[in-house]
Amino acid sequence: MREIDLVAEADVRARQYLTEIEGRPPFPTLAAREALTAFSEDLPSQGADPFETLNMLDVYGSPATTASNGPRYFGFVIGAALPGAAAVERLMLAWDQCASSYDNSPVAATIEKVAASWLLDILDLPRESAVGFGTSATACTLSCLSAARRSLLGRLGWDFDQDGLIGAPEIKVVVSETVHITVRKALRLLGFGMARLIEAPVDQYGRIDPRRLPALDERTILCLQAGEVNTGEFDPFAELIPVARAAGAWVHVDGAFGLWARASSRRSLTDGVDTADSWTTDGHKWLNTPYDGAMSICRDADALAQAMNSDAAYATASKDAQKNLTLEFSRRARGIPIWAALRTLGKAGVAEMVDRHCEQAAYLADRLRNSSLTVLNRVVLNQILVRGATDNETARVREAVIASHDGWFGPSIWRGQTAFRLSLSSWRTTNTDVARLADRLIAIARGQND
């Protein structure tokens, strides 16, 4: 019974936390952060009481959380956790499934297959694709790029699994000048070498300029972006991908948040993206699922299954087991909260949420354009880049807004200029929250910090 009491107590505290989420400062106060010294204790030699441990986490931990699950967190593209997705996570904790294959967890394997097919449906990507549910877009990019290199080498007659990279034909990688840092990380981990990456020049919006696309061939991986992290812009897929495919290159698309535009009325921003070879996207950003849930999607299902294969001998019978589509072997059923998010929102709900955030971004940008602040991007999606008259003014405005608790957002640099970036991506953010942020930003920029 003690176990049940403990879980019930955790549930009471979790419910209390959520009840207060709207009133929490988006970033924890200095006092709350200083109180974290309570955790600086020695590892106890005898186990502590679990109720007391839970109490400690709540008393000192909860006030020091970043309220990214709340309505006024505008940093990065973090999203919140949809109730429908967060609730199934609670039940899944009780299940404690090792979701590596059907044999380990029939329920996880069955639901993740459904989630995979729904995902291909809502994002309108090739239905024959394999979908791996990994921890993050970073990890999923690593999986996709492994599959890409292994496939290109295979076409050249090189057995990557047996012979590795020493003596292999060189696979070149072309990335956007504005490629996300985590794609660089994945490439570095895979041994591509940062100095050997070929950067494709971008236009003023941060999109690869097709006229200046570096030469591609059958030994090239081209990495494109659906949703550049600063501007929310999309590479011109319909122009770039046919050129790449004709050259025999592999096209990978980083769509960590932006690929969800495809499920909304902004769909035309993604035209042609479905002709790529592989894609990564996150659940934990714009779909508003809990951490950590992301997807690697690969048109050639066998290419991903072979690259990520964990079985002693590659067996086609288990090619759709998640242990053969992700970096993980033992794993949580990350596809289940994604299934729950899609099921509880439906196609219309996803479209409505993405559209709402884009409209909120457009409203906020309009308000700011009529102030002394400068909006640096076109705001085609949910990202707004803002700058004051000087670097100091930009920093002052950001710090003063954060101190007001009307919003938290991060600094950025765009085309050599200091800026800050506002992301609209939480299901909890209402139009009132956005108006309140606009009022505060404008008042502070005017020099009134009331």
Ligand X SMILES: *Cc1c(COP(=O)(O)O)cnc(C)c1O
Around 231, how many Cα atoms within 13 Å sit in the side-chain half-sphere?
Answer: 18
Which of the ranges 42-50, 59-67, 132-140, 439-447 carries the binding residues for ligand X, by CB under 6 A?
132-140
The answer to whether residue 138 forms part of the interface with ligand X (CB under 6 A) is yes
The residue type found at 399 is E
Q: How far is the CB of 229 from ligand X (least distance, A)?
A: 4
The answer to whether residue 182 forms part of the interface with ligand X (CB under 6 A) is yes
Distances in Å between the Cα of 254 and the Cα atoms of 179, 197, 222, 396 are 9, 16, 11, 33
Q: How far is the CB of 162 from ligand X (least distance, A)?
A: 31
Which of the ranges 34-42, 98-106, 134-142, 361-369 carries the binding residues for ligand X, by CB under 6 A?
134-142
Helix ranges (H only) for 221-269 are 237-246
Nearest 5°: CA angle at 180, between 175 and 186?
Answer: 75
Task: Restricting to residues 263-302, name those near ligand X by CB under 6 A.
Answer: 282, 294
112 or 254: CB nearest ligand X: 254
Task: Restricting to residues 249-268, name those near ligand X by CB under 6 A.
Answer: 254, 256-257
150 or 180: CB nearest ligand X: 180
The answer to whether residue 137 forms part of the interface with ligand X (CB under 6 A) is yes
224 or 397: CB nearest ligand X: 224
Q: Which residue has the tokens 């990507």?
A: 125
Q: How far is the CB of 331 from ligand X (least distance, A)?
A: 16
The answer to whether residue 223 forms part of the interface with ligand X (CB under 6 A) is no
Residue 267 burial by Cβ neighbours in a 10 Å radius (0-12, 13-18, 19+):
middle
Which of the ranges 66-74, 133-141, 300-308, 394-402 carries the binding residues for ligand X, by CB under 6 A?
133-141
The answer to whether residue 69 forms part of the interface with ligand X (CB under 6 A) is no
Q: How far is CA 433 from the centre of its chain?
A: 23
Nearest 5°: CA angle at 216, between 212 and 217?
Answer: 165
112 or 282: CB nearest ligand X: 282
- In the sheet that holds 374-375, the strands lie side by side as 374-375, 383-387, 417-423, 410-414
101 or 296: CB nearest ligand X: 296
Q: How far is the CB of 64 from ligand X (least distance, A)?
A: 22
Q: How many residues bind ligand X (CB under 6 A)?
A: 13
304 or 445: CB nearest ligand X: 304
Task: Restricting to residues 332-371, name those near ligand X by CB under 6 A.
Answer: none
Which of the ranges 63-71, 131-139, 399-407, 426-434 carries the binding residues for ligand X, by CB under 6 A?
131-139
Q: How far is the CB of 282 from ligand X (least distance, A)?
A: 5
Spatial CB neighbours of 113, under 8 Å, sequence gap ≥ 6: 320
Name which position in 77, 109, 119, 221 contacts ligand X (CB under 6 A).
Answer: 77
Nearest 5°: CA angle at 409, between 86 and 208?
Answer: 95
DSSP, residue by residue, 304-324: HHHHT--SSS--GGGTTSGGG
Give the footprint of ligand X on this chain (CB under 6 A). Answer: 77, 136-138, 180, 182, 227, 229, 254, 256-257, 282, 294
